[in-house]
Chains A and B, each alone.
Chain A
Amino acid sequence: MTGTWLGMPPFPEAARKALGDTQLRTNLRKATGTIRGKRAAVVAERADWEALRVAGKEIKDRTLHNLDTYLEQLERNVTAAGGVVHWARDAAEANRIVIDLVRAADADEVVKVKSMATQEIELNEALAEAGIAAYETDLAELIVQLGHDRPSHILVPAIHRNRAEIRDIFLREMPGVTEALTDDPAELAAAARAHLRRKFLTAKVAVSGANFAVADSGTLVVVESEGNGRMCLTLPEVLISVVGIEKLVPTWQDLEVMLQLLPRSSTGERMNPYTSTWTGVTPGDGPREFHLILLDNGRTDALADDIGRQALRCIRCSACLNVCPVYERTGGHAYGSVYPGPIGAILTPQLRGVTADEVSPTLPFASTLCGACYEVCPVLIDIPQALVHLRAKAVDAKRGKPSAERAAMRVAQWFFGSSRRLRVAQRLVATGGRVLSRRGRIGRLPGPLKGWSGARDTATPPRRTFRTWWESR
């Protein structure tokens, strides 16, 4: 496996493969179950949780509604504080800016703070191609990187790995690690710390993302658990932050709401252990050079969509993944994108375009519309509504091309066109059902009915429909 998501198969195919991996399902069930319980407990502590969610939604909506104004305000304030702001239309542009900045700093390696935006643009791969080594410093991200693997969860990218697998990866990939290493979590963390310490002390350049950017002061915010992010944000000479344009909040007061919503939804903590904030550069304290790259990469397209745009409210807490029954069974890789689970199913097709590749048009269908995600989302993203909307987009994009599904839908629409036609359909179903039925049940069927009947029996359709019964009363 490599870091890139190019050429991922459609969701149903990838999901089928993932379902065969029983180890994966055990790992996921355990991990998501634990975090679900923690979240539920700390959310229940807050009597005003629903009001907080509404506030979170409204802050984000107001920001998105006036995004141009807030972005320019942010740019002014970052610049005034000694930072440099760059604008990147897409992944290629953002990667090129980073590469140029690293070269200008005369460096050939960077340390990285866990960041979704840089995963999204596949920065590590681009850097490698330019001869620059990137070192992930978040423990889970490091496990993924050393395992030549892909992230499968927003918060815990290595959620699909268990302790024994992690030990094997360290043993194989970490210089200096010996057979004496056990799969004790504390020992694994210590090994990672020793490995990373060298990098923190030597790297000249750090690359981060940001959880939030406060427009009215030009401040960036990173929220984390391990403290490795803080090392990266303070030790190197040059700091480059790649931030999606939707990460803004207007003021610190708005940030306060977000900092209550995020940790409770994300790690199930009242407060996260480390919250780092920085505003431009401060002589004698931290990096001497700070670059902010504001990334579009499909976001303005999403913003133009009346229903799809709510996905831009997302604060990447991953609560929707942890409660999703589909995600729990398939894991993150099946979603063919750095954004898995329910949020990925509505974000990826918007960022890439719903017909961009094989997997994107199948993502909005990767849900039963059960609504568990909407129930937990701290910024009230109505994910089922967005899924259904994007399904329509996926279907509309293919209009004009022959499709068995559309033909079937048309036929159904015709039969539903009047009660007289419906009666005809009902007679066909009753007769057909009787032909296929054995001992009151319809078993396995070939062709288009295979998907349904492969594992499920169907009761034989009754001779009399409800309406014929009603008329005979």
Chain B
Amino acid sequence: MRVALFITCFNDTLFPATGQAVVRVLERLGHEVVFPPDQTCCGQMHFNTGYQRECVPLVRSFVDTFADADVVVAPSASCVGMVRDFHGRVAEVSGDRGLAAAVAETAPRVHEFTEFLVDIAGVTDVGAYFPHRVTYHPTCHGLRLLKLGDRPQALLRAVEGIDLVDLPDATECCGFGGTFAVKNSDVSVAMGTDKVARVLATGAEVLTAADNSCLMHVGGLLSRSKSSVRVMHLAEILAGERG
């Protein structure tokens, strides 16, 4: 399959290793990966912070960039949620019918990485090897917007050598919330601190998720508390190979 990668601005800038891992997994499974170079940002930060008008040109450029792609894959549950659930609203706010039609065309073709693997590529065993104790945090947008369900765990369970342990109270939000982390940093940190305590209780070496944004928040708290637990996007675990 020919897959267009939407890397997301956040991963592009701060977590290129996640993108590289996605490419490695997809190519290992025999897919052709293309990277439309004009891509920038889905507009989630602007939209969720109340800057819907500022979001309009970003949505326009997104639909232009991915107009020709049959399948778009992104390693971020929250950005995919933004595209699929809210680009339509941005188009509505803009009053541009053409944009609304373009969004209706593009948005359903955009898939989160684990969704693509399980539902479209039809695999759970991606041939990965990762001999570590890992716990998985289902990020809220993956859980409740995209309804990823058990897909990420199914992929992780199939990894050779992995010791996957349950995270207590896993479905409770980590407290990141985009600009919430700054606007309401005290509450955000209080929630994140509770998440950290649960992660530590599992004895895991690695905390993984389908969103680097939440991992950056929890990982930042872990690092400040001098913990040795690493955070790692799920794609990087699925890219792991023997030797």
Contact = CB atoms under 8 A, between A and B. Distances in A.
Interface of A: 11-12, 15-16, 19, 325-326, 329-330, 364-372, 374-375, 388, 391-396, 405-406, 409-410, 412-413, 416-419, 422, 425-426, 429-430, 441, 443, 451-452, 454-459, 461-462, 464-467, 469-470
Contact of A456 (B53, B145, B220): B220
Contacts of A430: 13
A372 B143 CA distance: 10
Interface string B4-25: 0001010111111101100100
Contact of A455 (B15, B19, B177, B189): B189
A12 B186 contact: yes
Given A456-B217, A467-B7, A409 B191 contact: no
B126 to A, nearest CB: 20
Nearest to A327: B187
Residue among B57, B178, B180, B181 facing the most chain A CB atoms (10 A cut-off): B180
A198 to B, nearest CB: 43
Contacts of A462: 14-17
Contacts of B7: 466-467
Interface string B44-68: 0111111111100110010000000
B165 interface: no
A179 B239 CA distance: 68
B209 interface: no
B16 A469 contact: yes
A394 B143 CA distance: 28
Contact of B16 (A365, A366, A455, A465): A465
A365 B38 CA distance: 32
B216 A454 contact: no
Nearest to A426: B13
A395 B175 CA distance: 22
Contacts of A325: 172-173, 175, 191
B172 A456 contact: no
Given A388-B48, A416-B40, A466-B16, A455 B221 contact: yes
24 contacts: A12-B185, A15-B186, A19-B187, A325-B175, A365-B179, A366-B187, A368-B191, A370-B177, A371-B143, A396-B53, A410-B54, A413-B58, A416-B61, A419-B39, A419-B40, A456-B220, A459-B14, A459-B219, A465-B13, A467-B7, A467-B12, A467-B35, A467-B37, A469-B16
B13 A416 contact: no
A416 B41 contact: yes
Given A465-B12, A467-B7, 4 more contacts: A326-B184, A365-B184, A409-B45, A462-B17
A366 B176 CA distance: 12
A374 B85 CA distance: 15
A467 B188 CA distance: 31
Contact of B177 (A369, A461, A465, A466): A369
Contacts of B79: none
Contact of A368 (B43, B45, B173): B173
Contacts of B179: 365
Contacts of A470: 19, 23, 35
A71 B41 CA distance: 48
B182 A368 contact: no
A469 B13 CA distance: 11
B140 interface: yes
Contacts, number: 185
B20 A466 contact: yes
B183 A452 contact: no
B173 A375 contact: no
B183 A391 contact: no
Interface in B177-235: 177-193, 216-217, 219-221, 223-224
Residue among B93, B171, B187, B190 facing the most chain A CB atoms (10 A cut-off): B187
A392 B50 contact: yes
A419 B64 CA distance: 13
A456 B50 contact: no
A365 B58 CA distance: 22
A419 B9 CA distance: 10
A391 B48 contact: yes
Contact of A367 (B37, B45, B53, B180): B180
A413 B198 CA distance: 37
Contact of A388 (B47, B54, B187): B47
A210 B182 CA distance: 40
A457 B223 CA distance: 6
A11 B186 CA distance: 11
A458 B216 contact: yes
Contacts of A459: 14, 216, 219, 223
B184 A366 contact: yes
Contacts of A367: 177, 180
A343 to B, nearest CB: 17
Given A325-B173, A466-B7, A368 B46 contact: no
B175 A16 contact: no
Nearest to B144: A371
B19 to A, nearest CB: 4
Given A370-B144, A413-B58, A452 B186 contact: no
B144 A375 contact: yes
Given A422-B40, A464-B16, A329 B145 contact: no
B40 A418 contact: yes
A466 B17 CA distance: 7
A366 B177 CA distance: 10
B196 to A, nearest CB: 10
Contacts of B11: 466
B58 A455 contact: no
Contacts of B46: 409, 412-413
B54 A370 contact: no
Given A12-B186, A392-B52, A452-B185, A466 B12 contact: yes
**6 nearest CB pairs, A to B:** A456-B220, A368-B177, A391-B50, A395-B50, A370-B173, A371-B144
A16 B189 CA distance: 11
B19 A12 contact: no
Contacts of B12: 422, 426, 465-467
A217 to B, nearest CB: 39
Contacts of B17: 462
Nearest to A15: B187
Residue among A364, A368, A374, A470 facing the most chain B CB atoms (10 A cut-off): A368
A458 B224 CA distance: 9
